[in-house]
Structure 1
């Protein structure tokens, strides 16, 4: 049965007309079927290039959900034990009293290594061997497992290196995702390091918050995302950064393919007859990790609701308290609601940091999607 997407189109256009967005692409799957596919706006306001069905968008930390899923695939195949020390797969990580940090600690932001290496630059950030070596050599801010310390950027290198080291054929992380997630699900545009051929389809970013005062340089927040490699257009539109495998924040996705990724999770690990994860494993992801309401010093004492699977869990931006999801810097998000078999991806190119739900231009779009499908917004 066809879905009336008029309200979704109206919500997208309203956000653009208000100046809150430039281009938006929202895609939803329900019960394994694509039911909403709406895009509008300008992918490049300077040239007048319109957004299109195949436009690509920077999604920043939404990439972490793909990295976590890659690690779960390794666990599914018996190559990784969640409760094993990271050093069992990556011996160098044991340096400076990190030997007790487990794979689960890495997934749930409790490995004690949230800060980027001192002196990091865009060039060194693009060097996987440099970054993993520098992170392995770091001293933890707290004993592994003791407290939540959100791994704003380091998550991708820690989780990605566990995947790389545990892969029987030793693929780099970018290739692992292409082979084990993108190819089976038919995802042509789920990139963590783009090829040259797709560059002209990437939406140009703008930053609504670019004139906000930066956080003090000494804060853990600023040290987890140093100014030299901050999650902003001047850094992440660099050609070398676009092509690098930056597994925590470097994803450049098409909304259709991102939504298929979330649809696999909403379907209990399977989509269109392709199973990547067992249903009981995926069901466990809707459980909050221990200390789920613990204040996070990196995030100015705000608790981050991380599930045992490493995804975010519930909250006002998604349809259910049991939905697993991930936001990205600037407002991107995607989620999988296991109870309603709903998956949604929202990609855009006008970054913002909403300080209040009423200031979030994506929230009305998300709610319009759920309403159009006759489903319930439970959050």
Structure 2
């Protein structure tokens, strides 16, 4: 039975010291078939999973597009006029969803307090200059993906992003208390504290000041336990990241590719568009090969040729939906490792 196989595997990950607390949830054809947890957590515990939250942001955008509030070719400046400054009037919603907008950075001097200030960051992004001509290069928009799309959603709907998340995703799926951008202080006790592993002996991490990664954001904003456990960060709407548990985000992914208890969030036509409207190339920020559809990375750990809709988060978390198999998967954890080996191990078990 897959539940036992996965449970045994994550128990071993924890007992061996490779992980501290882990959740795994798997849906197949809209049915929850795995709900496993190991370490000091329950299935209801929440984790700050960093960029796994981009799945929530992208889903909100697609739902607004499906209702005609936005279009993939809509210029961002049409909804957010200030964004058009410094020759950015040609940036479209499609460019942002595919990480080809040419606006990947929030600035090397940006502080933690800054990223907790929505209006401040949006003003800075609106006043920023292009790194490349939109649609010609790809580069991971680690923070700006969320702020740009979040501000567009806010202006198009007239509602704060947290309200949209609850109304468009949380309430329909019955997981409104398990998916968050900004998390009230009264709910933060539900989070498993993030844990940093000890650094390898003699290792130090520095970036040349002129490197793309250093230009994009400061090391102060590098995802670490110290950053992710801060109450102000947890309370802030940072829609390139999210707080969640595995059951809730797997349920979201399952509802993208099929019905879950009668609820389907995106149409088959939207899923086809996400997979077909792609951009691939060398990432201009991180230097790795990258392939993005509309709002999702198109790949799966263990199968780079997959067209699964996916997002991983710093620290080794991962979630995806694969229309070809009907599987929706989530792996949440709190030990901030720099790889996805443990998530890949479980995904390989799930896919047999």
Alpha-carbon distance change, 318 to 194 in structure 1, aligned in 2, over 3 angstroms = farther
* Residue of 310, 327, 334 corresponding to 1:325: 310
Which range is displaced more, 311-320 or 62-71? 311-320
Tell me how far 1:143 sits from its aligned partner.
1.9
Answer yes or no: is 1:295 the counterpart of 2:285.
no
Q: Kindly report which structure 2 residues correspond to 1:201-240, keeping only aligned pairs within 5 A, or say none.
A: 201-208=190-197, 210=199, 212-218=203-209, 219-240=211-232
**Distance in structure 1 (CA, Å) of the matches to 2:79 and 2:60:** 15
Higher alpha-carbon deviation: 214-223 or 69-78: 214-223
For 1:94, the equivalent position in structure 2 comes to 84
The residue that corresponds to 1:45 in the other structure is: none
Contact 1:194 1:244 in 2 (8 A): yes
Relative distance call for 1:210 and 1:79 in structure 2 (3 A) is farther
Aligned to 2:257: 266
- What are the within-5 Å matches in structure 2 for residues 29-48 of structure 1? 29-41=27-39
Structure 2-normalised TM-score? 0.94
Distance 1:164 1:260 in 2: 24
**Other-structure match for 1:314:** 299
Q: Indicate yes or no: 2:154 matched with 1:173.
A: no
Deviates more, 1:309-318 or 1:66-75: 309-318
Mark the CA change 1:15 to 1:116 in structure 2 (over 3 Å): closer, same or farther: same
1:210 deviates by: 4.6
Question: 1:288–1:313: 8 Å Cα contact kept in structure 2?
Answer: no
Whether the 8 Å contact between 1:36 and 1:369 is mirrored in structure 2 is no
Query: Secondary structure of the residue that 2:272 maps to in structure 1?
Result: helix
Which of 211, 225, 248 is 1:257 aligned to?
248
Which of 142, 149, 153 is equivalent to 1:163? 153
Quick one: distance in 2 between partners of 1:278 and 1:53? Answer: 29
Instruction: Quote the Cα distance in structure 1 between the aligned partners of 2:41 and 2:269.
Output: 38
- Distance in 2, matches of 1:254 and 1:197, equals 17
Q: Structure 1 residues 228, 77: closer, same or farther in 2, change over 3 A? A: same
Counterpart for residue 59 of structure 1: 49
Is 1:305 the counterpart of 2:257? The answer is no
Counterpart among 236, 243, 250 of residue 244 in structure 1 = 236
Please say if 1:367 is aligned against 2:352: no
Residues 1:235 and 1:316: Cα distance change in structure 2 (over 3 Å): closer
List gaps (5 residues or longer) in structure 2. Answer: none
Q: Is the 8 A contact 2:212 2:285 kept in 1?
A: yes
| Aligned counterparts of 2:41 and 2:303: Cα–Cα separation in 1 | 25
Contact 1:209 1:353 in 2 (8 A): no
Q: In terms of mean alpha carbon deviation, does 273-282 or 318-327 score higher?
A: 318-327
Q: 1:322: Cα distance to partner?
A: 1.8
Q: Deviations over 1:178-210 (max 9, x none)?
A: 111111111121011112232112111112375
Q: What is the rounded CA distance, in whole Å, between the counterparts of 2:3 and 2:108 in structure 1?
A: 48
How is 1:134-213 mapped onto 2 (pairs within 5 angstroms)?
134-167=124-157, 170-187=158-175, 188-208=177-197, 210=199, 212-213=203-204
Report the RMSD for the aligned CA atoms in angstroms: 1.7
Asked if structure 1 preserves the Cα contact closer than 8 Å seen for 2:315 and 2:338, the reply is: yes
Q: Structure 1's 119 and 234: CA in aligned 2 closer, same or farther, altered over 3 A?
A: same
Tell me which stretches of 4 or more aligned residues in structure 1 moved more than 6 Å: none
Mapped to 1, the partners of 2:304 and 2:249 lie a distance apart of 17
Shift of 1:315: 4.1
Cα deviation, residue 288, structure 1 = 5.6
- Number of aligned residues: 348
Q: Pick which of 176-185 and 28-37 moved more.
A: 176-185
- For residues 285 and 178 of structure 2, the distance between their equivalents in structure 1, rounded to whole angstroms, comes to 32
Distance in 2, Cα, partners of 1:370 & 1:104: 31
Q: Distance in 2 between matches of 1:209 and 1:135?
A: 35
Q: How does the TM-score come out when normalised to structure 1?
A: 0.88
- Partner residue in 1 for 2:334: 349
Question: Where does the alignment leave 5 or more consecutive residues of structure 1 unmatched?
Answer: 42-49, 372-379
